[in-house]
Chain A
Amino acid sequence: MAQIIVVTSGKGGVGKTTSSAAIATGLALKGKKTVVIDFDIGLRNLDLIMGCERRVVYDFVNVINGEANLNQAMIKDKRCENLFILPASQTRDKDALTKEGVGKVLDDLAKDFDYIVCDSPAGIEQGAMMALYFADIAIVTTNPEVSSVRDSDRILGMLQSRSRRAEQNLEPIKEYLLLTRYSPNRVKTGEMLSVEDVKEILAIQLLGVIPESQAVLKASNSGVPVIIDQESDAGLAYSDTVARLLGEDVPLRFVTEEKKGFLKRIFGS
């Protein structure tokens, strides 16, 4: 039985799709059979970031409506043996995602896969609710600023009250914090909240900190998940994140300011 992971946030543009692509790829690279599903109906871009937009024939909504089967709709990743993408529809409206329809697709996938990664749309509407409803694990993606933290708190409330596990009184969803677009310099100047601040407010386990990085934009422009770029700080930070998700104990990186030069350290700045 697959573990269902939702990558969610409440607030838009914080890095959910970037993280879904990176984490799904990372899990596949670790040998886990993984499928990543785009729940952002009408605004699909997971397929762009995964670099498979030209191979989309059928989508998630086609499968729900019985117009295509899973094997027709899933796209096999070119780089990774164990990785599949289930793209979103660009044309249909969000109400196509019903609890029954989504539940059935996830049930079918769960038989074959180790991990199902659900890339949630922003907000707390139907699409976001469906993405989190069946989750076993939630990766609450948060930027180090007040409004993002507040929306994450709101989503945590939803996970605890509106999910399948909550409604059926099962063991609660495992909640993880993923802090993205982190910039130690801007934390120091007080423009951004620190890792500690966010951890204190949200009070959930920290899964990883992804630095603000040029590599992310470069990667998504070329349709390669940033985790593939093992030269980049963001790529390495996502690798660490995946390792922690699989239970490894890996120290945090890229959370302090870049080291000053030797002379600056002696003489101050």
Chain B
Amino acid sequence: MIKQNLELKATSFTLSVLYINNSNLDSVANELDKKLAQAPQFFIGAPLVLNLSALNECNVDLVALKSLLVERQLIIVGVTEASANLATQAKELGLAVMKSGKQAKAPTIVPRTTKIVKQNVRSGQQIYAKESDLIVFGAVGNGAEVIADGSIHVYGALRGKAMAGAAGDNNSVIIASSLEAELVSIAGQYWTADSLQQHCHAQRGCVRLEGETLTVELLPQ
């Protein structure tokens, strides 16, 4: 087989981002010199991305900014959160216009599969459904623990602890035929038995997150 001359592979790198918060380049230069004096090894030679979000309303001379940085041995690979005008300038200078992690938010891990447990989960037992929903055909006893990266469905009484959205998925829910849990938690927000009892008494229900707070929705018996 002939080896290809080119290959394209996606790889991610960690880049430092330098926030330019002032359009007055003299002040920027001043402050930068101070920073460089403190920790030169931190900046010099390291690829940097400029965050220009603070300059969107201003007309800053990107050519001057770039040469100011290059003079100080900084390597600029691109800009991010730039206004349309600044983005065009950046392209002309041969700089990449990059989307930051925040703008191009990676989707939270959504469960890909379902784990089914066909018996009661007894006191002292722990079940973890990694990257999946968890369905229990039976009760979860006091002192037992069920954890899932996705949602948890218990076709029986939930008396132990249940932690859904363990990897941070806010959309996970906990559903049980009888909510009597010692603890319920979704994406880290939790209720102890006392808090749960203020909302429902051993009823069929669905616990979910509304914003940052948990709620219970009672379901028909």
Residues of A participating in the B interface, judged by any CB pair closer than 8 Å: 150-151, 153-154, 156-158, 160-161, 201, 203
Contacts and interface: CB of A to CB of B under 8 A. Distances in A.
Interface stretch (B61-69, B98-106, B122-130): B122-130
17 contacts: A150-B142, A150-B143, A151-B123, A153-B122, A153-B141, A153-B143, A153-B144, A154-B122, A154-B143, A157-B122, A157-B123, A158-B124, A160-B122, A201-B141, A201-B157, A203-B120, A203-B156
Contacts of B168: none
Contacts of A156: 120, 122
A150 B123 contact: yes
Interface in B124-166: 124-125, 138-139, 141-144, 156-157, 159
A154 B138 contact: no
Main secondary structure of the interface of B (DSSP, over half): loop
Nearest to B141: A153
Q: Using C-beta atoms within 8 Å of the partner chain, give the interface range for chain B.
A: 10 to 19
Which of A150, A153, A201: most chain B Cβ within 10 A? Answer: A153
B139 A154 contact: no
A199 B123 CA distance: 16
A154 B159 CA distance: 13
Contacts of B124: 154, 157-158
Contacts of B120: 156, 203
B125 A157 contact: yes
B111 to A, nearest CB: 25
A154 B123 contact: yes
Contacts of B119: 160
A150 B121 CA distance: 12
A151 B123 CA distance: 8
A153 B138 contact: no
A168 B220 CA distance: 42
Contacts of A150: 123, 141-143
A235 to B, nearest CB: 32
A153 B123 CA distance: 6
A161 B125 CA distance: 9
A203 B138 contact: yes
A153 B139 CA distance: 11
Which residue of A156, A157, A158, A201 has the most chain B CB atoms within 10 A of its CB atom? Answer: A157
A153 B144 CA distance: 9
Nearest to A151: B123
A60 B66 CA distance: 87
A245 to B, nearest CB: 23
Given A158-B124, A201-B139, 12 more contacts: A150-B141, A150-B143, A153-B122, A153-B141, A153-B142, A154-B124, A156-B120, A157-B124, A157-B125, A157-B144, A160-B119, A203-B138
A156 B141 CA distance: 11
